[in-house]
Amino acid sequence: MDKVRSFNIPVLDMKGAGEFYRRVFGWEIEPVLGSGGDFHRVGTTEVDESGEPISCGAINGGLFRKGTHGIGTTFLELEVMSIDDTVAKVLQNGGALVREKRPMLDFAFFAIVQDIDGNYLGLMEYRDRKITD
């Protein structure tokens, strides 16, 4: 079963949005090196040494500069074993491919699809890590 890995919220003002989420929810917000400032990691819960949330069911996420991925709406990101296989299933079941598989920095691949109602879903395939249940 593919798990929800994170959420992604589009913002126009990265600094202002970061301050908003820090002040309102107490989230930790940090820029991701190599993203050119277009993506900031959001910590909503404590993580273990491998970066996985300690609390069962909790997820962390990110703020992305609106338009960076070609979309401007909040979306969930799913960790999958194979983006290629998942995209094939999406297309076979009436969904659509929005953004083709591309490298994400040096650790993963990323694509965006839509379900049958037009909801966006990010797909993350780690290069060296296998999904754990």
pLDDT for 130 equals 53
Site of tokens 């598989």? 101
pLDDT at 133: 45
Give the model confidence (pLDDT) of 32-83 as tens digits.
Answer: 988 888 999 999 999 898 888 898 888 999 999 998 878 889 999 999 999 9
Per-residue model confidence (pLDDT) at position 1: 84
The domains located in the chain, with CATH, are 3-126 (3.10.180.10)
Mean pLDDT of the chain: 90
**pLDDT for the residue numbered 99:** 93
Between CA 13 and CA 24 the distance in angstroms is 16
Instruction: Count other C-beta atoms under 10 Å from residue 58's C-beta.
Output: 12
pLDDT digits (tens, 9 = 90+) for 14-30: 999 999 999 999 999 99
